Structure 1
Amino acid sequence: MPESTDQSKTQYSRTKKILKWLAGLTVLGLIFAVILLVYLYATSLPLADNDHNSRLFDIDGEVIATFSPEGKDSIPVKLDQVAPALTQATISVEDRKFYSHFGFDWKGVARAILVNIKEMNMSQGASTITQQLARNLYLSHEKTWSRKIKEAIYTAQLEMKYTKDEILQMYLNEIYYGHGAYGIESAAQMYFGKSAADLNLAESAMLAGIPKGPTYYSPYNNMKKAKDRQKVVLNSMVTTGAITQEEADEAYNELLDIKPKSQPKTNEKASYFRDYIRNVVVNDLGIDSAKLEHGGLNIYTTLDMQMQEAAEDAIANGMDKESDLEVGLVSIDPRNGYVKAMVGGTDYNSSQYNHALADNRQPASSFKPIMYLAAISSKQMTAISQFDSKPTVFKYDNDRKTYEPKNFGDKYLGPIDMRKAIAVSDNIYAVSTLMQIGTDPVIEMAKKLGITSSLNPVPSLALGTSPVSPFEMASAYSVLANEGLRNAPIAVLKITDAADRIVYKVPEQTPEQVVDTASAYVVTSLLESVFDTGGTAHRVADKIKRPVAGKTGTTSSDAWLVGYTPELSTAVWVGYDNNQEITTSESRRAAPIFAEYMEKALENVPPKIFPVPEEVVSVYIDPSTGKLAGENCESRRLEVFVRGTEPTEYCDEHEAKPGSNGEDDIQNDRDDSWWNHFKRWWTN
């Protein structure tokens, strides 16, 4: 028996050693697991397109767009902005144990492993919502062991770092629903024309079934397959107790109002502005494009979505999408330089070229106010300076060259003053002005106002033949709107990184007095005449219920209206990309767009008159002579002047009317003129 006893002792010793080894391995395993979990928790997840795409905010701090190299421009929504039926449907069909597991369906994992070992490939996979999110955010969709290991790691990290609701929210904002729709909000808008919050049970079940096969289960591609999938989702919801069988049957039999196939509506708002901001951030602020697309930046801008929507609506109402006619609109707050709205074309999906920034369009007569401002601020001319509107040949370059402009329709009015010339857009008067004051002061004034394009010092400069952009024109007119003070245009206020640290903050801007307030006001007063009876924009004056100043401009291929109120300076351009000649009806599209936009954009702002500076004086003049109105002048007009440039001589060329009471009648006329002047200020 000693031999048997020795064998038992040996066996016991071996067993004891094995148990010790197993215990040691278990302890080491536990230590390794703890270290691994701590490591995973402490290690940052890689950058992901969804959570780390930079976001664009409007002036109110609302997200209006995202930046993505793949064009995933859907606007993310919070979980409480998604219909409960949609979240229930998604969980029921994709991951019933979502709220109870730690990211993995272990039974599903085991089953998939056995199948993959048997088939010697990666044909099977278990996919919880968290695993799908990890794959979509950080990995490719190739079926390899290395990818599966990474997926498991990222899945664990997601579960450690985020709550279940946060994971579900990210999933619903990331998942692909077909036809370019990334995220539930984009999908709800595209398929049903409504927000995710407003989806009903039938719509929710339809959408929840699509991600399994976005092409296969798309109602646009195959309605039968889409309905079959919808039924699977509804049955899953019944199984999980989310709904009753009666509710499922009712939802399945509901006739769905699926909208015509189009791009998701979430991509439509402020698209041109988004592209403009991309250019500003990368080229002007020096932020790398990769950081913009993957760095999780938060870009806070000056865009006012109420004004932006007003601009887009005005263009939609004023332009024909079936035509190749294009449009550009940019609007700036003159009080601080903030870019409030920008539309660069008729349809972003058709053309991404931003016409609001295009600097190859002739501003035509809309450039004239810049020249008249140069004339008035230099005190070489006033509102009553006269030239003879008649066919004229102008000589320049030491009389070696000639220039012979024409008036529209060959209409010439004879001797006219500046107010009349601006109202009717007289070309002869404009070139006469340029020839008197010279091209250098005009170019210098344009640069002061913010025109950066090159200007050709020739007589035709008076008629706006040097190309500029609508952006430049809106910026230049904003100086007039702001009493001669210039604020450089601003679009980006602040940029923060994913950790909310400030990357960029716009420097505080001090307005620069580039032209005296009195001269700016006189030109503003003259530009109000454009909307009065006989002015080139009179046909839209009744659509703007507030004081407004501006100037139209038309060439054979361009139509403009640039104008402003004290709160907003806006330029609208209409034309063809290939410089095709525009028709008369096409040339008249700019003014209605301007009027509709300005009235809608400022609907919550009380009308305000342009403030009259102390250095401005108002006197009654006789338009025919340019002198102070005398006792017998029948057609007197109240005119404004920079103090010291007003006329001092009285007109004595008119005889008294029969029955005139002399001075009393003149005083009554003056009172009446003041009242009419005030009404014009208030009601225009």
Structure 2
Amino acid sequence: MEVIREAPLLRYFRWAKKFVKFVILSLLCVSFAILLLILYLRSQPLPETFVKQTTTIYASNGDVLDTMHRGENRIVVPINEISPALVDATIAIEDRTFREHYGFDWKRLAKAAYVDVINMDMRQGASTITQQLARNLYLSLDKTWERKIKEALLAIQLELNYNKDEILGMYMNQIYYGHSAYGAQAAAQTYFGKDAKDLTLAESAMLAGIPKGPSYYSPFVDFEKAKSRQKLILDAMERDEMITPKQAEQAFAEKIKLKERSASSIVEQAPYFRDYIANLVKNKYGIDEELFIHGGLKIHTTLDPVMQKKAEDIVAAVLPKDNPNLQVALVAMDPSTGYIKAMVGGRDYKQTQYNRVLGKRQPGSSFKPIMYLAALQNGYTPLTMMKSEPTVFTYDKNKQYIPSNFGGKYANAMINMREAIKTSDNIYAVKTIDFLGPQKVVDQANRLGIASTLQAVPSLALGTSPVSPLELNTAYAAIANKGEAVKPIAITSIEDNQGNILVEEKSEKTPAADPVAASLLTHLMQSVFERGGTGFRVVNELNRPVAGKTGSTDYDAWLAGFTPQLVSTVWIGYDKNQKVDDVKEGYLSKKIWAQFMESALKDQPPALFDMPAGVVSVYIDPHSGKLATENCPNPQLFYFASGTEPQDYCTDHLPANQQPTPLQPPDPSSFWQRMGSWWKPEP
């Protein structure tokens, strides 16, 4: 039987037909697989990521007080707030086909794969901007095939979920530019001291070259290498017709002005206050460490940077250089709002970070005004008389307390409350708390804002229960506010990186004492700075009405006081129970306080302490305690709650058979009012 052989051409045609079918079927399968992969990737959410952003702390005037980033300084801004020149420069040098590809540059990928196969390792990179973003956001930097595959899949997901501008914006905020600067905004501020939107073409080309080798191309490290890289990028931009040859030439010739990196530019401002802010953020407002440091928060504070600088300068100038162990605390608040304006927690933050504004020490006699405020609401008047003499007090049935005056000096005569406050008479104070009962004083202190535990014993009158300078300052603010307590506020608001308000603090006033009593006390506390008062030594440093009270123990020296605009407290002492020399070292608390108050308020006119309704003013003869007449040699102006002032006239100095002629209350146009009318701030 004859076998009929198939013609070779026909056989080849049949094979070709089968091969084409196979190729078409394979392409359809691959296409279908790719389609399934795309649909799958499109349906899957991208991994969660936390982009670390720099938290910024602002002073009250909007100045940046500090940034928190712990080595990853990033300030996220939208793409339209980044210079177009920097965007173009980045595309030109990193991924020139970025606008055309879908996450991969196939030519670069093929070349990289060839080199990698030849060398049997991962030498050649071909990552697009999208791939780099995927790696930076979600993956490690390991050079493995597994990581490359994950990177490719994530790049596809990014391209499926975001448009090109969104991807570019994320990339420009993610990339590392060296010197802890992540993202275009932080980099622009680090290298040029300006915002990313304000970068010139020359600056943009230099900045775009840094990510290739942040420690190699940094203009801070090697300016010539940075210039060489800048030229390469300008040439790439010219090649891609992003700029003209003339623009490239002019940009390269432009003189680059880098941000000064002197020591003064990195000096920490208000370090104790910054630590206080960090403590509030985490412990009061419940914001965790990671969100605080890397959450891109905007924390707006009450600190007055000018006032803070004055406080720091005065402390540095007044404290003796030959006694570095002598420490200080200073805190200042606006009494009407409770806003903390200045805070100095020690003389050298680098030596010790302990914030003495928050530390508790015995306030000594600076606590007495709190007790006298309670007394003025419980039957006392500014003219209440008691004898200043050595006295033994018995309490709790059989316990004894034997206070003494400073230096063992006693009037051995009847004195009034004004004299007791002025000279800081301890006997008068303890007799007052003995009359009131210590618990009333504790309750009054708590209402004024002192939260520390106070011992309800007679010695409380002399400030034996420790309190912090911040607490004492808060209590004094309530006195300045005519009896309305204000909570101290250091943070006015906290915003997240999307602008949402997480925390907002507003001033709150709470009635804590009778306004008439608080105003009477304020007038009495002005006597501290009169001749014979414990604050008189610094009166020449003051050019405005002030009220305050000194305080001293063997280990502490205080002065707390206020004007209508500002209340501040200064403490001087040692951390390790070393005694304070009251004459030399104790005086420094008064000097710092007076210089700070005058300097802090030098741009504001002197302000009077006005009296509320229900207060009357009369002249008193201090010897008799009666209404003064024209014949009394040393009349003193006193304020009283209406109806509690003396009704009888002093007759001790009247000539025989002469009727008393009362002294009229002072003209409202007092010295300070006249001074305020012509006062002008220093230029």
Name the TM-score class by shorter chain.
0.7 to 0.9
Q: 1:74 to 1:402 in 2, by over 3 A?
A: farther
Q: Which has the larger radius of gyration?
A: 2
1:405 aligned partner, one-letter code: S
Which amino acid counterpart does residue 361 of structure 1 have in structure 2? R
2:232 is matched with: 236
Partner residue, 1:525: 523
Counterpart of 2:432 in structure 1 is 433
**Deviation sequence 1:530-576 (CA, Å, 0-9, x none):** 34455444566666665443333344443433333444433333444
Cα distance in 2, alignment partners of residues 163 and 490 from structure 1: 45
- Asked if the contact 2:188/2:194 (under 8 Å) is kept, the reply is yes
**1:412-427 maps to which residues of 2 (within 5 A)?**
412=410, 415=413, 416-427=415-426
Equivalent position of 2:468 in the other structure: 469
Q: Give 1:373's aligned amino acid.
A: L
Aligned residues: CA RMSD: 4.8
Deviations 1:470-495 (A, max 9, x none): 22122212211222122334455555
Residue in 2 that maps onto 1:356: 357
**1:437 Cα deviation after fit:** 3.0
CA contact (8 A) 1:89 1:233 kept: no
* CA drift at 1:515: 0.9
Is the Cα–Cα contact under 8 Å of residues 190 and 259 in structure 1 kept in the other structure? Answer: no
Partner of residue 516 from structure 1, selected from 514, 522, 526: 514
SS across alignment from 2:670: helix
Instruction: Give matches, 1:53-72, under 5 Å.
Output: 70=70, 72=72
Question: Aligned partners of 1:247 and 1:26: how far apart in 2?
Answer: 48
Judging changes above 3 Å, is the alpha-carbon distance between structure 1 residues 124 and 261 closer, same or farther for their aligned structure 2 residues? farther
**Matches of 1:598 and 1:78 in 2, distance apart?**
44
Partner of 1:444: 443
Offset at residue 446 of structure 1 (A): 0.8
Unaligned runs of 5+ in 1: none
Q: Which amino acid aligns with 1:49?
A: K
Report what 1:578 is aligned to: 576
User: What CA distance in whole angstroms lies between the structure 2 residues aligned with 1:257 and 1:569?
Assistant: 39
Counterparts in 2 of 1:151-550, with a 5 A limit?
A: 161=162, 164=165, 167=168, 171=172, 175=176, 177-178=178-179, 226-239=222-235, 240=237, 248=252, 251=255, 259-261=261-263, 264=266, 268-269=268-269, 271-290=271-290, 292=292, 296=295, 298=297, 301=300, 303-305=301-303, 307-319=304-316, 323-358=324-359, 360-379=360-379, 381-389=380-388, 396-398=395-397, 400-407=399-406, 412=410, 415=413, 416-491=415-490, 511-532=509-530, 534-538=532-536, 547-550=545-548
Stretch of structure 1 that moved more, 70-79 or 637-646: 70-79
One-letter amino acid of the counterpart of residue 318, structure 1: V
Q: Provide the secondary structure at the position in 2 that maps to 1:49.
A: coil
How far, CA to CA, are the matches of 2:397 and 2:28 in structure 1?
105
C-alpha distance in 1, partners of 2:347/2:77? 28
Distance 2:594 2:189 in 1: 30
The residue identity in structure 2 corresponding to 1:304 is T
Tell me by how many angstroms 1:618 deviates. 1.1
* 8 Å contact kept, 2:618–2:665: no
Is the Cα contact below 8 Å between 2:75 and 2:296 reproduced in 1? no
Structure-2 separation of matches of 1:89 and 1:16: 46
Kindly tell me: are residues 244 and 400 of structure 1, through their superposed partners in 2, closer, same or farther at Cα, counting changes over 3 Å?
A: same
Check conservation: 1:77, 1:173, Cα contact below 8 A. Answer: no
Q: Displacement of 1:517 after TM fit?
A: 0.6
Name the residue aligned to 2:670: 675
Q: Normalising by the residue count of structure 1, what TM-score does the alignment of the two structures yield?
A: 0.77
- Distance of aligned partners of 1:208 and 1:675 in 2 relative to their CA distance in 1, 3 Å threshold: same
Q: CA distance change for structure 1 residues 118 and 354 in 2, over 3 Å: closer, same or farther?
A: farther
Residue identity matched to 2:443? E
Give, in whole Å, the separation in 1 of the partners of 2:97 and 2:289. 37
User: Structure 1 residues 360-369 or 569-578, which shifts more?
Assistant: 569-578
2:637 maps to amino acid: L
From 19, 35, 38, the equivalent of 2:24 is 19
Cα distance in 1, alignment partners of residues 152 and 12 from structure 2? 47
State how far apart, in whole Å, the 2-side matches of 1:576 and 1:173 are: 48
The offset of 1:293, in angstroms, is 5.1
Unaligned runs of 5+ in 2: none
Q: Residues 337 and 475 from structure 1, CA distance in 2 versus in 1: closer, same or farther, beyond 3 angstroms? A: same
Shift, 1:639, TM fit: 0.7
The 1:519/1:131 distance shift into structure 2, 3 A limit, reads farther
Deviations 1:167-213 (A, max 9, x none): 569746873633x6667777788788x55689999998887776655
* TM superposition shift of 1:640: 0.9
For residue 425 of structure 1, what is the amino acid of its counterpart? Answer: S
Q: Per-residue displacement from partner, 1:623-674 (whole Å, max 9, x unpaired)?
A: 22322213421111111122333222322222459xx99877x65x755697
| Residues in 1 aligned to 2:183 and 2:346: alpha-carbon distance in whole angstroms | 27
Residue type at the aligned position of 2:358: L
1:356–1:469 Cα contact (<8 Å) kept: yes
Q: Which residue of 2 aligns with 1:46?
A: 49
Distance 1:22 1:674, change over 3 A: closer
Q: CA deviation at 1:122?
A: 4.2
Amino acid at match of 1:236: L
8 A contact 1:312–1:343 mirrored in 2: no
* Post-superposition CA distance 1:327-371 (Å, at most 9, x none): 44444444444445544444555544333222x222233212111
Distance 1:647 1:564, change over 3 A: same
Counterparts in 2 of 1:616 and 1:230: CA distance versus 1, 3 Å = same
Q: Does structure 1 retain, via aligned residues, the 8 Å contact 2:445–2:475?
A: yes
Determine the C-alpha separation between the residues in 2 that align with 1:324 and 1:189: 39
Q: Distance in 2 between matches of 1:513 and 1:683?
A: 35
Which letter does structure 1 place at the counterpart of 2:311? A
Q: Deviations over 1:354-398 (max 9, x none)?
A: 33222x22223321211111111212x322334455666655554
Q: Which amino acid aligns with 1:675?
A: S
Amino acid at match of 2:356: H
Q: Is the 8 A contact 1:339 1:491 kept in 2?
A: yes
3-state SS, counterpart of residue 230 of structure 1: helix
**Could you say if the C-alpha distance between residues 541 and 107 of structure 1 is closer, same or farther in structure 2, counting changes exceeding 3 Å?**
farther
Identity of aligned residues (%): 40
Q: CA deviation at 1:11?
A: 2.7
Q: Which stretch shifts more, 209-218 or 413-422?
A: 209-218
Distance 1:130 1:346 in 2: 51
2: CA distance between counterparts of 1:163 and 1:557? 67
Aligned to 2:640: 641
Q: Which moved further from structure 2: 609-618 or 234-243?
A: 234-243
Amino acid aligned to 1:18: V
Distance 1:643 1:286 in 2: 49
- Could you report, residue by residue, the CA deviation over 1:577-607 in whole angstroms, capped at 9, with x for unpaired residues? 3344456665455455545655666677665
Q: 3-state DSSP class of the match of 1:572?
A: strand
Q: Answer yes or no: is 1:562 the counterpart of 2:576.
A: no
Matches within 5 A, 1:107-122: 110-122=110-122
**2: CA distance between counterparts of 1:509 and 1:2?**
102
Distance 1:597 1:79 in 2: 46
Secondary structure of the corresponding residue to residue 319 of structure 1: helix
1:520 CA displacement = 0.9
- Aligned equivalents of 1:542, 1:75: Cα separation in 2: 49
1:66/1:72 contact within 8 Å kept: no
- How far 1:469 sits from its partner (Å)? 1.3
8 Å Cα contact 2:52-2:296 kept in structure 1: no
Shift of 1:616: 1.6
* Preserved CA contact (<8 Å) 1:485 1:511: yes
- The 1:604–1:148 alpha-carbon spacing in structure 2 relative to 1, beyond 3 Å, is farther
Structure 2 Cα separation of the partners of residues 436 and 57 of structure 1: 49
